[in-house]
Amino acid sequence: MIGFPRGKVAFRMLQDNDLESLHWGTLDVLENAGIKVFSEECLKLLEDAGCFVDRKQSLAKIPGNLVEEAIRKAKKNITLCARTPKYDVVLDGRRTYCCTDGNGTSVMDFETGKRRMSTSEDLATVGKVANALDSAHIFWPCISCQDIPDYYRHVADLKVALSSIEKHVQVETTSHRREAQWLVKLGTALAGDEKALRRRPIFSSMHCPFSPLQLDGGSTEGALALARAGVPISFYGMPQAGITGPVTLAGSIIVNNAEVLGGLTMAQLAAPGSPFMYGTGGAAFDMKTMTWAGGGPERALISAGSGELAHHYGFPILCGGIVTSAKVPGPQSCYEKMSSGLPQFYAGCDMVAGLGLLDDVTMLSYEQMVIDNEMVKIMARLAQGVIVDDDHMAIDLIKKVGPGGSFLPERHTISWLNKEHFMTEITDRRTGELWEADGKKSVVDRAHEKAAKIMKEHVVQPVPADVAKQFESIVKAAESDIKQHGLN
């Protein structure tokens, strides 16, 4: 089974009374401040359910009882299916999965190291690399096809992603109902039919509010269309503490929670019992540089706190965690990604995103993706802690080996080595003399070599030929349809 077993280390940032305070504070915000939804369809849905709606302001005030009913209705035990079933992600609270980071618009060229716009070929290549990396359990397309016109780019992105990897694909670019319908057609072509897609959803979709307390009409209508088709959806709040959320982290967690629960309520009104995942990508706003501080410790704290709140409701959570503002792979990228990701593992978050991107999730680096693949294994091992039982204490073995003996040849050592010890792939633990003799390669050099080997040797099972033809026809039809009608 893929994924990392939920860790033993007890990390709890919020107590029960904290979670209840955040919950009731969120209901207060939704009922009295409300949330803006720029969609007549969504406003009518809420109004018909008993919400106060002010169409001039596109504002809906949602009663707490309606929100709590939506929490009860939603499907929470979800399997994110892959086209190769061995890669299925089972969100049952027992494991933590890692997800590539998504929607960058540029790539650090693998040959020249220079930044350039991302292409369809890049997306296919990174899908192949992610398919080979054992810690990349879910594929959020790291980059978008900037060589495709923007009006149907997101449909092309999903086609390339589904064709390039055997794992579950999670998108975050659905901008309207019409676009969502074309995405469902792609999923249906691969699954076999609409019932098969509902039974085995091979893609899912997250939808980002505009903090504070605003939901884009097109994206939300797309989310409802996907929910009706049985595609798991997530509302992924991204308040920036200090500008689009209160500077206090608890306040920004409430903004995030209100946005997520507002989206959930509409999804459950449109498609009762549809699968739903909680999401957060909240971070601090850096007052020195006036930029988003994606790699800061505040992001880790917001994500871990939101993870505990999601679990309080019973939802699996997707949190942005392994993030850096660094522009190149190196010390800053590693310490920011490690510090911003580790608390999510300790908090038992279900899905932690972040593999592969630099510069505040805008640029893909293949080397960084390989390094991230190694770092998340370290995070997962730290979260496992120390297990104390008869097998792990090994008292009989200690007595057998005795003073001055060696445990190296013992069967117990071989049996437990890979379970107890972090086994390196690109981390260099050799002596300085051996390292110098081998060319003084940095971890970035070794990551480059591993990525090159994957690109050359790894084989992704292709989609069936008839499905590939359907994919091409669907994308062409989507291009024509959206060009003619727009996203209306």
Position 10 pLDDT exceeds 80 = no
Compute the distance between CA of residue 111 and CA of residue 408 in angstroms, rounded to an integer: 43
Q: How confident is the model at residue 11 (pLDDT cuts 50, 70, 90)?
A: confident
Any domain includes 206 = yes
Mean pLDDT of 34-49: 97
Instruction: Say which CATH number the domain at 325 has.
Output: 3.20.20.480
Closest to 34 (Cα-Cα) out of 64, 68, 73, 71: 64
Task: Name, in order, each residue with C-beta under 8 angstroms of 298's C-beta and a sequence gap of 6 or more.
Answer: 241, 249, 283, 284
Any domain includes 376 = yes
| Domains in the chain, number | 1
- Asked whether 137 and 99 are in contact (CB, 8 A), the reply is yes
Mean pLDDT of 184-203: 97
Position 12 pLDDT exceeds 90 = no
Any domain includes 478 = no
Mean pLDDT of 219-241: 96
Tens digit of each residue's pLDDT (9 = 90 or more) over 71-89: 999 999 999 999 999 999 9
Closest to 249 (Cα-Cα) out of 343, 379, 353: 343
Mean pLDDT of 478-482: 94
- Asked whether 98 and 136 are in contact (CB, 8 A), the reply is yes
- Percent of the chain residues past pLDDT 70, beyond the cut: 99
Residues in the chain: 488
Any domain includes 361 = yes
Position 259 pLDDT exceeds 90 = yes
Of 368-377, 399-408, 418-427, the poorest mean pLDDT is in: 418-427
Q: What is the pLDDT of residue 367?
A: 98
Any domain includes 163 = yes
Any domain includes 126 = yes
Compute the distance between CA of residue 57 and CA of residue 245 in angstroms, rounded to an integer: 20
Any domain includes 340 = yes
Q: What is the pLDDT of residue 13?
A: 86
- Percent of the chain residues past pLDDT 90, beyond the cut: 89
Tens digit of each residue's pLDDT (9 = 90 or more) over 317-369: 999 879 999 999 999 999 999 999 999 999 999 999 999 999 999 999 999 99
Measured at the CA of 281, the angle between CA 280 and CA 283, to 5 degrees, comes to 125
Q: Specify which of 173-177, 254-258, 342-346, 428-432 reaches the highest per-range mean pLDDT.
A: 254-258
pTM of the model: 0.95
Position 182 pLDDT exceeds 70 = yes
- Asked whether 47 and 53 are in contact (CB, 8 A), the reply is yes
Q: Dig out the tokens for 30 from the structure.
A: 């939704």
Compute the distance between CA of residue 170 and CA of residue 128 in angstroms, rounded to an integer: 16
Q: What is the pLDDT of residue 488?
A: 66
Any domain includes 445 = no
Q: How confident is the model at residue 100 (pLDDT cuts 50, 70, 90)?
A: very high
Compute the distance between CA of residue 468 and CA of residue 130 in angstroms, rounded to an integer: 20
Position 275 pLDDT exceeds 70 = yes
Q: What is the pLDDT of residue 132?
A: 98
| Backbone φ, ψ for residue 49 (5° rounding) | -90, 0
Mean pLDDT of 94-107: 94
Structural domain of residue 248, as residue ranges? 4-14+71-384
Tens digit of each residue's pLDDT (9 = 90 or more) over 155-178: 999 999 999 999 999 999 888 999
CA distances to 160, 458, 466 from 478, rounded to whole Å, are 14, 31, 18
Q: What is the mean pLDDT of the chain?
A: 95
Position 137 pLDDT exceeds 90 = yes
Cis amide linkage into residue 232, ω under 30° from 0? no
Q: What is the pLDDT of residue 212?
A: 97
